Structure 1
Amino acid sequence: MRIDADRDRCEGHGLCADVAPEVYDLDDDAVVVVRHETVPPELERKADAGARVCPVAALRVTS
């Protein structure tokens, strides 16, 4: 599983990092950072949950 982050679309709400801090973080400019190039299997559910709560749909989970 991979996560595509549209950093231009990100508004820095941080909900993804609240839901899945093992997968998502915000940089100093409050823009999403994905912690893993490929999400480990044990974090896939959290990665998906974090992507789903993004209010501006800046995160897309792909297989």
Structure 2
Amino acid sequence: MIAEVDKDTCIGCGACPEFCPEVFKMEDDGLAVAYTNPVPSDVESSAKDAADGCPVDAIHVE
């Protein structure tokens, strides 16, 4: 599974690292990034929760 954050859509709310800090973090620009790819199998569910919890649908996991 690969996780991606669309930085043009991200509003920097910080929800994704709350759901899945193993995959997502906030960068110095205030926007999120998926820093672990591929997503480890033991946190795939959390990564999907982060995508589902994104208020602007900026996260894509496949």
TM-score by length of 2: 0.91
Q: Distance in 2 between matches of 1:4 and 1:16?
A: 11
In the alignment, does 2:8 pair up with 1:8?
yes
- 3-state SS, counterpart of residue 55 of structure 2: coil
**What do you get for the CA RMSD once the two structures are aligned?**
0.9
Q: Deviations over 1:5-44 (max 9, x none)?
A: 1011100001011111111100011111112121010110
Give runs of ≥4 in structure 1 deviating > 6 Å.
none
Residue 4 of structure 1 deviates from its aligned partner by 2.2
Identity %: 37
Structure 1 unaligned spans of 5+ = none
Structure 2 unaligned spans of 5+ = none
TM-score by length of 1: 0.90
- Which amino acid is 2:9 matched to? R
